[in-house]
Structure 1
Amino acid sequence: MTIFKKITGIGTAALLALTLTACGSDDTNDSSKGKAEAGSRSVGETVEYNIVGIDPGSGHMEATAKALEVYDLKDWNVIAGNGAAMTAALKRAYDKEEPIVITGWNPHWKFLKYDLKFLDDPELVYGDSEEIHSIGRIGLQKDLPEAYEIFQRFKWGTDDMSEIMVAIEDGTKPEKAAQNWVDANEDKIAEWTSGVNKVDGDEIKLVYAPWDSEIASHNMMKIVLEDMGYDVTLTAVEPGPMFSAIADGGADATFAAWLPITHKTYVEKFEGKLDDIGVNMVGVRQGLVVPAYMEDVNSIEDLKK
């Protein structure tokens, strides 16, 4: 079994169509009927042996492919799409209390909107817990010392990030949601910037993976840097190009490196070409996620039943 065999690429529209079909397109079907049908079938049968995933180039998807091997889930496949398609599929299933298995990570707004649970991972394929690191290009400290010092000091919590994510999900534009958080957290911003000299229009390029969590963190840091006098460019790319851009100097920094598991492959690939500036968040987690109403599914091992 390889990652190429077990991860199925699919466009966003196609993924949504598949999900609607799997969940049932007849809105007149009530949740009790769905539960009754699910109770007579295995977990795999209820979801057609599909795990709804995200971007095929993400380390999270690579870990999920490995999980299928480690737990001997021969009949299962991971549907590659993107974060928006995954959360749309989750909402559709959740609203009807129907079974679904998704790739998930926290912090993410879905854990505040829905009652979800991570499946136990006794083999620790996804690791125990992870950290988010700030990564810069080689030479960043010399070229942009003020920004580098801010990045070294930058630390915040999952609740901080979640506050911005939930606001965005509720319809606030990312820039406005980030600005609202910055305005409400002047003391925390001061911990990062106090005593750091302002600059006059120095350019800085930030790159990030297009995930809700990273949209929140990078829009927030853009405001902080602009207030310090920087001319900031934000670019959303897939994880591979994100690390490549920093390694070759095309971008200056990112705050989206999940370690030691999720982005291990990229950090090893570009060893010696990246500056690990420091940890900006601890206690983050990734893995397979299901709604809490799937009471008989509590471990990845349960997917074999």
Structure 2
Amino acid sequence: MFVRTLCGQNQNGLKRICVFFAAVFFAAGSVFCQKYSAEQEQGFEAFRKNDWASAMFFLRKAGSLPEGFDEETLYLLVMSEINACEYSDALSDVNVFLQSFKKSQYLPYMHFQKGRVLHLLERNEEAVLVLSDFCHLYPDSELYAAALYWVAECFYDEYNFDSARALYERVVSDFPADSKAGDCRYRLEMIAQREREEKLIYLLKVTGEENLSAREEYERQIKLYQSQDKMGLRKSLADSQNRIAELEAELAEQKKANSALEMKVKNFGEAISSQNVFEEKKDGEIGGKTSVPKTDPEIEALKQKALFLQFLLEEK
């Protein structure tokens, strides 16, 4: 009937422990009261009221005297120190008890408390050894299931979940009525939940790696396409520039050809004008009238057209 810790957790179980040991120490009634000193009685009373600071003060004072140094006083001092979370002092006093009262009726309890205090001090390897010795020495003790539980807690704190789960399951199956069975069931649920979380994390990790690989491949393809597009644009731009250069050259040649053609047309027009003047002059001389040429406009136009057509045929 011991709780997981005696520092701020499961106060109902803690009170039951206090009542149990108070009943043990005061079961003899007035006989015990007569043999205890005033400091011891004050310490016992403070312990009964869960006043751990006062209990430690009076019990340490009583234990410092030869007549007050007995197994009951030292045991209650250890329990007060555990309840007050003074684990280092509790371990020191436990060792004193084990050395001083080797035949005490409270020896199994102190052996158990030593293993539990070592666990509370996070010295789990030592705690496992002490609690395992307890289970070997006292297989019929009412604290046997609690000892298994605390061994499992040591493994749990060291992340050895397989060993812890085996012990939790043993307590649940072999000691279903023990007060630690409920705590063991809770731990088993936590271990199962942790395993589910680890599997989920593994799946997320694998999925994340696959997604990362796919994303990297996608980005690589995008960069490749962009590079290809840039190369294609560069080629298209170069082709366009070459085509523009060719068109500009053709335009320059066309302009040059047009200029030459205009020059020829101009020369041809001048030649036609000269020819008309010559013919008019000739007709004037024949008719005896040099001042007024005799020409028909329609005939002149037809002549010009004929000459122009002849010129074009020669050009072609």
Please give the range of the TM-score, normalised by the shorter of the 2 chains.
under 0.3
**What TM-score, normalized to structure 1?**
0.23
Larger Rg belongs to: 2
**What TM-score, normalized to structure 2?**
0.23
Write 1 or 2 for the structure with the bigger share of strand.
Answer: 1
* Larger RCO, structure (CA 8 Å, separation 6 or more): 1
Write 1 or 2 for the structure with the bigger share of helix.
Answer: 2
